[in-house]
Structure 1
Amino acid sequence: MTTPSSPAPASRIRWRRGRVTELGRAWRDAQEMTVKVFDDDAIRALAHPSLVGTPEVGDEVLLNTTAWAQKLGTGGYALVVAVPDRLPADPTGLGTPGAGHLVKGRYTPLQVTVQGVDEQETEHHEAIAAARTSGACPWWWPTCTRRCRRCSPGVHVTDPALRVAYVMTDGGALPAAFSRTLDALGPSLAGGGHRGRRRVDRLRPARAGPVPDAGPPGRAAPAAGRGSRGGADPAARPGDGGAGDR
């Protein structure tokens, strides 16, 4: 057994336990609720069902209240980390080639794997491997998610047949599943829900094919060399970091 060379650092997370007393709005992969914190007041909380399961009234939940307590960019929500007495089922196909190898929340207790659109097992791999450009597709870089409200309607006024895709970068961005803006724009966005190591790879599926399910929440996958397993996106930059209607 080894002895740490320095004292253990203080916790950076403000943990709380509570009980769900009421369910609120639900959209995409997000569920609002009211939680009565043990020995404290009731607070608003948010759960992502694909990560923690779907809390029900009466469930005890474990909360991360760090940013909520500091009134930072969580939209006024504490975040549900787990429903300890009713854990969700294991992910389908975990450990198989089709399960995906891109890790979000890397090296954190809540890291999750997703399948990248450029992985060898996907239907898009050959097209992405052969492509060299984005096909002269025009780009618009909004500084925050809510500005998509202006772009998508404007494009379709010009030509209703045009396809609009939204690429979310890694960094401090609002999770896609948390955004009510993206949820509302979903029917008019092409190719949503794909992950990829490079931004251009995430865009290509928008040119054809059906719009897949959004999948687990989180930021876009990190960039890396084609066909590799991982890597970091040196060009990624933070997004808005605001509330779910952003």
Structure 2
Amino acid sequence: MRIQWETAVVTEMVGEPWSLHGLQEVRVRLGNGETAAALYDLTVGTPLRPGDEVLLNTTAVRLGLGTGGVHFVHAKLGRLDESVDSPEVPVDANLQEPETPDRLRSFGPQEGHMMKLRYTSLQRAVLSVEEQSSPHHALFAESRTLGGMPVLIGELHSMLPAAVCWLRELAREAEVQAPRIAYVMTDGGALPMAISRHVRRLRELGWLVGTVTYGHAYGGDIEAVNKYTALLAARHVLEADIAIVCMGPGIVGTGTPYGFSGIESGELVGAVHALGGAPVAMARISFADPRPQHCGLSRHTAVAIGQAALAPAIVPLPWLPAEADTALLREQVRQSGLARRHRLRWEAPPPLEHMAAALEAYGQRITSMGRSLQDDPAFFAAICTAAGAAYRLLRNEGPDKP
């Protein structure tokens, strides 16, 4: 195990206003003259200014990794040039912080005693929803269930905005109020919630009722110790109608059957089932990914849902326009054993134009592995098919109604 450290000097602030999001993006000049972008977690110190000397963790970039592949500022060392003027940070007056519900306003990291990133130099105290000083402690001291709440479970962070867009589109079509959607972020990927541009955008749009981070992930509206209490917090504190659970940006894979972080989606199926919720798995499907293990039904879905999930889930799957694609998908599903464990739902996915219109309302491009809806329609078809099944459960419609 190793960490590669390098010193650098901040040259400018870039990106969006740091005050709204918990992360500051800067450009730095390294000792070899290289200039690069770096991210700084504002929960560990005061904002950076041009002229600040910083210590960077450059490990992932030097290894050429995608996951975590950015320089991170570990600490501010001092000022290289005290004469450098520090311009005020520009704030877009049109970009407002999402309104915080009353039931969340009492939370603050200074109030809590539960440590995240424990026994590291960056450990921090947060107020977990379960602890004695939490205003919601009594709720968790009693036995609670999810009361049948649909929970969409995904492997990739990019599934989150697509699922939210389709849920809202279905409500718009039905001319009813959009469901209250909570996002539960696991610690299988990025740990700080602030790293997610999708969460930032969804909060700006007002499309999430709130967010929960558990394990060593941090920065949600609510902090929780584990996946069980995080799910209960989404239901009983945020009063969500539907929860979407997936890791933050970044996923680890090794090319081995069980060596990938997305295997947690199988474990989440069990947690939702144990708590009396309705787990709905978003299958990872692609016919644009050049990697054999992700062609058609991803091997990750086949293992996580087909083997690691020890409780039944609803697994919606799309009939694809190309017969050869559907034939391959059906054979992969047969080999995976999904049908023996779960309730499969083969459905015609929404038309491409309909999905495009729903995603357009987001106002920003949604991609997965760099591919958009037009590049990889099967990926988005699987997400929308699953979101549709969860929506029907919420509306007490369809073959899986309670």
Q: Normalized against structure 1, the TM-score is what?
A: 0.71
- Report the Cα offset of residue 13 of structure 1: 0.9
Alignment of 1:35-46 (within 5 A): 35-46=28-39
The partner residue of 1:127 within 133, 136, 139 is: 139
Identity in percent: 36
Alignment of 1:83-232 (within 5 A): 83-85=76-78, 99-159=111-171, 160-173=177-190, 175-186=192-203, 187-192=206-211, 193-207=221-235
* Equivalent residue letter for 1:134: L
* 1:58 aligned onto 2:58: no
**Structure 1 pair 176–18 and aligned structure 2 pair: CA distance change class (3 A):** same
State the alpha-carbon separation in 1 of the partners of residues 110 and 10 from structure 2.
35
Q: Whose helix proportion is higher, 1 or 2?
A: 2
User: 2:3 aligns to what?
Assistant: 13
Asked whether the equivalents of residues 191 and 209 of structure 1 are also in contact (C-alpha less than 8 Å), the reply is no
**Structure 1 pair 169–210 and aligned structure 2 pair: CA distance change class (3 A):** closer
Q: Deviations over 1:55-112 (max 9, x none)?
A: 11111111000011112135642000011228xxxxxxxxxx9632222222222121
Asked whether the equivalents of residues 68 and 74 of structure 1 are also in contact (C-alpha less than 8 Å), the reply is no
State the alpha-carbon separation in 2 of the partners of residues 74 and 127 from structure 1.
37
* 1:32 aligned onto 2:22: no
Asked whether the equivalents of residues 163 and 206 of structure 1 are also in contact (C-alpha less than 8 Å), the reply is no
**Structure 1 pair 209–109 and aligned structure 2 pair: CA distance change class (3 A):** closer
Asked whether the equivalents of residues 182 and 238 of structure 2 are also in contact (C-alpha less than 8 Å), the reply is no
Number of residue-to-residue matches in the alignment: 199
Considering Cα pairs closer than 8 Å and 6+ residues apart, tell me whether 1 or 2 has the greater RCO.
1
**Structure 1 pair 174–146 and aligned structure 2 pair: CA distance change class (3 A):** farther
State the alpha-carbon separation in 1 of the partners of residues 31 and 25 from structure 2.
19
State the alpha-carbon separation in 2 of the partners of residues 13 and 40 from structure 1.
21
State the alpha-carbon separation in 2 of the partners of residues 172 and 127 from structure 1.
29
The secondary structure found in structure 1 opposite 2:159 is: helix
The secondary structure found in structure 1 opposite 2:10 is: strand
User: 2:329 aligns to what?
Assistant: none
Q: Whose strand proportion is higher, 1 or 2?
A: 2
State the alpha-carbon separation in 2 of the partners of residues 74 and 37 from structure 1.
22
Unaligned runs of 5+ in 1: 1-10, 87-96, 212-217, 220-234, 239-244
- Report the Cα offset of residue 138 of structure 1: 0.5
State the alpha-carbon separation in 2 of the partners of residues 101 and 174 from structure 1.
19
**Structure 1 pair 23–76 and aligned structure 2 pair: CA distance change class (3 A):** farther
The partner residue of 1:71 within 55, 64, 76 is: 64
* Equivalent residue letter for 2:210: G
The secondary structure found in structure 1 opposite 2:200 is: helix
The secondary structure found in structure 1 opposite 2:44 is: helix
* Equivalent residue letter for 1:175: P
User: 1:215 aligns to what?
Assistant: none
Unaligned runs of 5+ in 2: 80-108, 172-176, 212-220, 240-246, 249-262, 268-366, 369-402
Q: Deviations over 1:103-141 (max 9, x none)?
A: 222222212121111111111111222242122111111
